[in-house]
Amino acid sequence: MVIDLKCACLYLSRYPLYQLGNPQLRIFRTNFFMTLVKPGKEQPPDTVQFRIPMEMTKCDIKNYLEKIYSVPVGAVRTRIQYCTNKKRNHLNQRVKRPDYKVAYVQLVQQQTFQFPEIFPQKDTALEPGSVEEMQDQFMQDEQQRQKADPRRGGVTEWFGL
């Protein structure tokens, strides 16, 4: 009995080795996580910008997007953004902002992508006749009254005869 248990333990502790052609019993998920970001500078419409871990390469990004998200990828370009080590904390120690890698992915077949507006700008159109609108109008008139005469061309009030 004891010997049987020992055999069972040994069998469980060693998993079946994988060789090419064996059935894949385990699913390997990557440790990489990509973040889609809004481009800081204007990019052409077929370009998508990601922040990716430093260890990822262009081939990794292509495979990642094609296999996991089934998005066909045309071209990938990467760069590393260096972030400052100049800032200091309250103890005057230099604090490093971590570097990150940016990937620009171009899509195939003229597909376009526009990063959505997450914080839409509200039009502050005040209702005519409301209290806020009258207050706003009053403040604008007050500011207009306080401004100097434009015909004086920037010369101060006290300068004159």
Partner 1 sequence: MAAPSRLPLLQFCSTRVFLLRCTQGFHSEPAVQEPAYPPVIPSRTAKSKSAKKRREEDYYNQVRAASSVQDKLRLLTKLQREKYVVYPQTFTLNADRWYRHFTKTVFLPGLPEKCSVGRQVVDQENGKVPPAAGGVDPTVVDENTFSELRYLVGNGILQENFYLKKRRPFLQKEQEHFVAPFLSNLVSSVTNALAKYNPLLKMSSLDFNPEVSFYWMRGERTVPRGHRRGRADPIRFQINDQPHCQIRVPQQLEEFLPLQESVSAEVPVVQFEPNRLPMFQRQYDNNIFIGSKVTDPCSYGHTQFHLVHDRFKRDRLLKGNLADQIEVRLRANAIASLFAWTGAQAMYQGFWSHEDLTRPFVSQAVVTDGQYFSFFCYQLNTLALTVQTDHNNPRKNICWGTESMRLYEAVKDGEVVGLNDDVLKLLVHFLLNKPQKM
Q: Which residues bind partner 1 (CB under 8 A)?
A: 42-44, 46-47, 72-75, 77, 106, 108-110
Give the integer Cα–Cα distance in Å for 148 and 140. 15
What dihedral do alpha carbons 86, 92, 96, 97 form, nearest 10°? -80
State in angstroms the smallest separation of the CB of 59 from partner 1. Answer: 11
Q: Measured from the CB of residue 154, what is the shortest distance to partner 1 in angstroms?
A: 22
Q: What is the dihedral of CA 23, 26, 27, 30, to 10 degrees?
A: -120
Q: How far is the CB of 105 from partner 1 (least distance, A)?
A: 11
Nearer to partner 1, 48 or 91 (CB): 48
Q: Kindly tell me which of 1 and 59 has the beta carbon lying closer to partner 1.
A: 59
Q: Strand 100-107 and strand 35-37: pairing? A: unpaired
Nearer to partner 1, 16 or 72 (CB): 72
For partner 1, the closer of residues 37 and 47 by Cβ is 47
CB of 56 to partner 1, least distance (A): 19
User: Any bridge partners for residue 64, and if so which?
Assistant: none
Integer Cα distance of 42 and 118 in angstroms: 17
